[in-house]
Chains A and B, each alone.
Chain A
Amino acid sequence: MNCYLCDRKISLQVTWRSLFFNEPDDVCCSRCRNGFEQVAAGCPICSAEGEGKCFNCVQWEATEYEGLIDSGTSLYRYNPSMKEYLHRYKFLQDVILSEVFASVLKEELQGQKSVIVPIPMNDEKLKLRTFSQVDRLLDAASIPYTHLLGKNRVALGEKSKAERIELQNVFWWNEKRVPEKILLFDDLYTTGSTVRMAAKVLKDKGAKEIKILTLIRA
């Protein structure tokens, strides 16, 4: 098989482990795999580098979004390899690349007690991209999830943080029952406004504890 990322042939690594456990073959080669940098430690909410709660998350605590997120993790740093990956997955629409992080996400989310809620896309964007990159990551890992939110048609991309906070009604509740414990899942954590706006809607509708998981911390 060829590596999904560099298209070079993956050399078969026969180990005792691979002989005895029927593990699925990796879809990318070890060189590409090693290009990604896993988060070792960081902010207990967003995994930003450094010790303790990061400046950004402390600032959030001084707004009306105080205390919405109970804890959180991000799995990877946004290094050049990850930027390239995300570009190909999201913008070149190479859907199959959702499988690259399947086993990592599976390990992270298997046996999760909270209900997993992906951050949604708005219908217009979804039609244009032809797939939801967040949902597909979970699908590839065979992790069940429940959509509780819908998204309005406003692009956050070009907005400053202050403007983002202004946009109160980015997400709406889809009227499904809201469980007490929720884990919000998104692909990329940048300023933290997306997950907080989503968390606000869900806590208003009865959620008691909200954790977040993002694949990448920008």
Chain B
Amino acid sequence: MKQVEEFLIGRIWLRNFVPFPKELVDRAIQIGAISVSLGITKEKQCVRCLEKSSQKIVSFFCAACQKTCFYCRHCIKMGRISSCTELITWAHPSTIPLQNHSFSWNGQLTPQQERASQQVQKSLLQKNDHLVYAVCGAGKTELLFPAIFVALKKGQRVCIAAPRTDVVLELTPRLRAVFPQTTIHSLYGDSPEETGFAQLVVATTHQLYRFSNAFDVMLVDEADAFPYSYDEALKRAVLKAKKKEASIVYVSATPSSHLLKQIDGVSKLFKRFHGYPLPVPAFQSLWRYEKEFAKGKIPEKLKEWVDERIEKKEPFLLFFPTIELIEEAIVLFKKTHPMIEAVHSQDVNRKEKVMKLRQSQIPGVLTSTILERGITIPNVQVAVVGADQPIFNAAALIQISGRVGRSRDYPDGKIIFFHNGITRQMDKAKKMITSYNGGQ
């Protein structure tokens, strides 16, 4: 029963998919240690992901119960939830004993980081929400370490939620090194099964659907990132996963004005940890680039830029507005440089390709906005094709620019916005980056 508690406490799980014998689960239900609820409420809301739009909660004739049932398309990849699906959660109070934790980090916080770190701890103590507004490469993760350690020692359960798998994958090994005694679970789509009770959970915001009333401290990394900012369901999931009185620490380089207004405690860090300024984007016209690609030609200026990167052996990221344009362009680029790769959200080999770029096995990558954040490659050079397209709003452009010059060894680098006309969002991104460099 101990194992069932460790697994199920704070979680909400499909009854038929728990990794325990049916008899054990049945007995726990009988004695009231596990509570059961149906998957879709009468108001047609999914109990796991809280989705309720009629596009995502759809009806069908269910052969199991011989009547019309509803199911949720939003979280279907985690196992389908329908009106007759049973969800279970641990109902008894926790009997999990206090665990030992150690903190093994010998890095040094800059005075700015130190100040923000103290402010985060103070907000947590006072049970207030907090926002860390820090530019890309300010060292946001490190400044959270002390607060995490304090919470763990108190026996609190801590969650770090990030919008993308790529970010979770980069964060997990760092946390495991810093908290070597702590059981840490790393959760994302298709992550390997973890056992035991984890006091520290690193998860994609999607995986939070599977938690309920679980966390005493909730850290939301890249709080503005797609899909988090777009997706109401994910916002609700953050609220559902944490305990009622638990506070949320938002971390973002590009917080929305809404978030800035909503939260009283804000720490600002406009300097990178290595002290060098943020690279400021340069605008370069690339007239009628879509027509050029459609004609089977790489626009001349772009071709020169890529050739130069390859000649200088500088790794590069080339951002595109649509998957369709990436697919058109990659064929053309591969003609002259067969080692160049393309990645986008629908690409199953994304992880491997980014790894290859890191290890200098390939010269560069054409990408959608999927790689706009959370990725650090020393000496990487970046350009955006079609920076005037609506998908590249100021926040996205700032994040993309933030990929450049992150490492101490290569603190500068170039970021170019190739465009078919300068937009307000491009101007805004450039202005904000310049203002960060000028201090407050």
Contact = CB atoms under 8 A, between A and B. Distances in A.
A114 interface: no
A88 B76 CA distance: 9
Contacts of A93: 71, 76, 80
B63 A2 contact: no
A94 B80 contact: yes
A95 B60 contact: yes
Contact of A130 (B62, B77, B323, B346): B62
A126 interface: yes
Contact of B63 (A92, A94, A129): A129
B73 interface: yes
B323 A92 contact: no
A95 to B, nearest CB: 4
Contact of A96 (B58, B69, B324): B58
Interface string A114-144: 0000000000001111111000000000000
Nearest to A139: B61
A31 interface: yes
Given A31-B323, A31-B324, A93-B71, A131 B62 contact: yes
Nearest to A96: B58
A118 to B, nearest CB: 14
Interface string B241-254: 00000000000000
Contacts of A2: 55
Contact of A92 (B61, B62, B69, B77): B77
Interface string A127-168: 111111000000000000000000000000000000000000
A6 B60 contact: no
Contact of A126 (B63, B69, B76): B63
Nearest to A95: B60
A96 B55 CA distance: 11
B63 A132 contact: yes
Contacts of A127: 63-64
B58 A130 contact: no
Contacts of B165: none
Contacts of B89: none
A96 B63 contact: no
Interface string A99-126: 0000000000000000000000000001
Residue of B63, B64, B71 with most chain A CB atoms under a 10 A cut-off = B63
B275 to A, nearest CB: 41
B76 A131 contact: no
**For chain A, which range describes its interface: under 10, 10 to 19, 20 to 34, or 35 or more residues?**
10 to 19
B73 A130 contact: no
Given A126-B63, A130-B69, A94 B82 contact: no
Nearest to B327: A31
A161 to B, nearest CB: 30
A13 B76 CA distance: 29
B73 A96 contact: yes
Contacts of B82: 130
Nearest to B346: A6
Contacts of A31: 323-324
Nearest to A30: B324
Given A2-B55, A31-B324, A131 B80 contact: no
Contacts of A129: 63
Contacts of A132: 63
A83 B190 CA distance: 18
Nearest to B60: A95
A86 to B, nearest CB: 15
A33 to B, nearest CB: 13
Interface string B302-341: 0000000000000000000001100000000000000000
Nearest to A128: B64
Contacts of A126: 63
A93 B79 CA distance: 9
A1 B58 CA distance: 15
A94 B64 contact: no
A132 B63 CA distance: 8
Residue of B64, B77, B79 with most chain A CB atoms under a 10 A cut-off = B64
Nearest to B79: A92
A46 B340 CA distance: 40
B64 A130 contact: yes
A5 to B, nearest CB: 10
A91 to B, nearest CB: 10
Given A2-B55, A92-B76, A131 B63 contact: yes
Contact of B76 (A1, A94, A128, A130): A94
A48 B63 CA distance: 33
A9 to B, nearest CB: 12
17 contacts: A2-B55, A6-B346, A92-B76, A92-B77, A92-B80, A93-B71, A93-B76, A93-B80, A94-B73, A96-B60, A127-B63, A127-B64, A130-B64, A130-B82, A131-B60, A131-B62, A131-B63
Given A129-B63, A130-B69, 20 more contacts: A2-B55, A6-B346, A31-B323, A88-B76, A92-B76, A92-B77, A93-B76, A94-B73, A95-B58, A95-B71, A96-B60, A126-B63, A127-B63, A127-B64, A130-B62, A130-B63, A130-B64, A131-B62, A131-B63, A132-B63
